[in-house]
């Protein structure tokens, strides 16, 4: 019964992609009139071994296998290599990159027309975060995989403190701190409940703070009616960003009841693996690493805590997607090849290969009995991100804002205002004039 429903939905979505592609893009046929696509080249920052294995298994089930040559680039080298290759006329047909690398490359990409895949069908097929691919003239990408931020918690530490379950809401951390953060006679923290409030030794600090902002209703950056992208770190924003910043920095404030962290500690992940940190905020993809580095650590996974009332359910999601390259002579072939490998049935296999949630609502709706994937799937449904440029520089802007408040150098309002202005300068300098 379940299988048959899944197959019906799967065939419907497949028709949307394949039929749409045939109508709007050129078909590729050999002299015998059988479908035959040329080799498609794709560059990306996604792991090559996982991608090649994924496509290889798909080709075993296709009557007409797709030929894809995938090249993995490091995030730091991708931009320069991509621009250089395009200048030589040797660029790829498509790219597979995280959505936070989309904005600075938008002028090099060609949108998929809504006549091929309508906005409504796209939104029905994928998780909400995929909406970042929706442009004025079409879709700037097709989602492939999402890696959401989750909460890892130490079961032994919680049990010893008499706490039966992990926190669901941020306002529970004050009580947790009283039970889980331990200080010696000199006031030095020897055991910490949670690592927050600093960008120097808090892994994923940008994503944690961003999640808090998005939960408050502040999207961090937004696209206006003219297509320009600007920072929403402003005092006039609909959702006041100072509240999220205030909460985040309380954990490094010695006079706060939430005080649990400072720069004398190692990286948060290191402290968690050593059994000295009760809660660690990391990506779903970090599960295997945590298990491997300390097999004896008794920990579990839960969704990122949320605002109890008046907030927006959100957790940061690192979303990977395929985008077509404008300069390619094989745009039609690239679209058809990509469409064929992101059918829901195949994306379900990707979940097994990566142990990460799917971007497909069909796959998520099929459910899972795995205790971790259940959490990851729920997190994928509320995953969000924002359009960004130059992650190193934007990370520095946010980190400087946090440090200015934590050190008492600036008020919340002044720190937010300065960061917003700096972010806008970065956005406007980094983006092509046409954007």
Q: Are 175 and 308 in contact (CB under 8 A)?
A: no
Cα–Cα distance measured from residue 59 to residue 65, given in angstroms and rounded to the nearest whole number: 5
For residue 85, the model assigns a pLDDT of 96
The two counts, helices (H) then strands (E), for the chain are 16, 13
Q: What value does the mean pLDDT of the chain take? A: 91
> Which stretch of DSSP H or E encloses residue 421?
helix 412-430
Give 222-279 pLDDT, tens digit per residue: 988 777 899 999 998 789 999 999 999 999 999 999 999 999 999 999 999 999 999 9
* Contact yes or no for 276/191 (Cβ under 8 A): yes
54, two tokens: 């994924």
Fold of 2-146+318-380: D-Maltodextrin-Binding Protein; domain 2 (3.40.190)
pLDDT one-digit tens code per residue, 143-197: 999 999 999 999 999 999 999 999 999 999 999 999 999 999 988 999 999 999 9
Nearest to 130 by CA among 423, 342, 306: 342
By C-alpha distance, which of 115, 25, 80 is closest to 330? Answer: 25
Reference 260, options 358, 272, 422; nearest CA is 272
Provide the terminal-to-terminal Cα distance of the chain, rounded to the nearest Å: 49
Domain boundaries, the chain: 2-146+318-380, 148-316+386-430
The whole-number pLDDT of residue 35 equals 57
Report pLDDT digits (tens) over 358-372. Answer: 999 999 999 999 999
Predicted TM-score (pTM) of the model is 0.90
In this predicted structure, the answer to whether residue 10 has a pLDDT above a threshold of 60 is no
- Cβ contact 215:311 at 8 Å: yes
Q: Which CATH number fits domain 148-316+386-430: 3.40.190.10, 3.90.230.10, 3.55.50.30, 3.20.20.10?
A: 3.40.190.10
Quick one: average pLDDT of 282-308?
A: 98
Triad 59, 64, 358: Cα angle to 5°:
45
Q: CA 307, CA 171: separation in Å to the nearest integer? A: 8
In the predicted model, is pLDDT for residue 3 greater than 80?
A: no
């Amino acid at each position: 019964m379940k299988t048959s429903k899944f197959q019906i939905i799967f065939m419907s979505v497949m028709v949307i992609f394949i039929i749409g592609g045939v109508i709007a893009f050129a078909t590729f046929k050999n002299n015998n009139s059988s479908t035959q696509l040329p080799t498609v080249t794709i560059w990306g920052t996604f792991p090559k071994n996982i991608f090649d294995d994924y496509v290889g298994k798909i080709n075993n089930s296709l009557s007409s296998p797709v030929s894809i040559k995938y090249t993995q680039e490091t995030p730091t080298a991708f931009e320069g290599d991509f621009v250089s290759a395009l200048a030589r006329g040797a660029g790829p047909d498509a790219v597979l990159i995280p959505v936070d690398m989309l904005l600075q490359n938008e002028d090099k990409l060609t949108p998929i027309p809504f006549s091929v895949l309508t906005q409504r069908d796209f939104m029905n097929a994928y998780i909400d975060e995929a909406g970042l691919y929706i442009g004025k003239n079409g879709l700037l990408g097709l989602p492939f995989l999402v890696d959401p931020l989750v909460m890892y918690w130490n079961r032994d530490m919680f049990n010893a403190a008499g706490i039966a379950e992990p926190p669901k809401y941020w306002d529970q951390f004050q009580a947790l701190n009283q039970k889980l953060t331990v200080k010696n006679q000199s006031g030095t923290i020897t055991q910490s409940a949670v690592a927050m409030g600093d960008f120097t030794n808090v892994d994923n600090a940008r994503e944690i703070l961003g999640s808090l902002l998005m939960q408050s209703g502040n999207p961090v950056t937004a696209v206006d009616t003219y297509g320009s992208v600007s920072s929403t770190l402003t005092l006039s924003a609909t959702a006041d960003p100072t509240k999220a910043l205030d909460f985040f920095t309380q954990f490094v404030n010695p006079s706060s009841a939430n005080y649990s962290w400072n720069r004398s500690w190692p990286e948060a992940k290191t402290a968690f693996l050593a059994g000295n940190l009760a809660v660690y905020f990391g990506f779903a993809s970090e599960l295997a690493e945590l298990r491997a580095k300390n097999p004896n650590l008794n920990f579990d996974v839960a969704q990122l805590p949320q605002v109890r009332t008046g907030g927006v359910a959100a957790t940061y999601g690192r979303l990977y997607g395929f985008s077509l390259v404008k300069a390619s002579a094989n745009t039609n072939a690239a679209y058809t090849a990509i469409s064929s490998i992101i059918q829901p049935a195949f994306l379900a296999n990707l979940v097994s290969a990566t142990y990460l949630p799917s971007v497909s609502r069909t796959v998520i709706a099929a459910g899972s009995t795995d205790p971790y994937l259940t959490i990851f799937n729920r997190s994928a449904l509320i995953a969000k991100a924002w359009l960004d440029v130059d992650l190193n520089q934007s990370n520095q802007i946010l980190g400087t804002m946090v440090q200015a408040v934590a050190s008492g150098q600036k008020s919340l309002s002044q720190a937010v205002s300065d960061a917003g202005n700096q972010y806008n300068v970065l956005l406007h300098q980094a983006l092509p004039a046409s954007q």
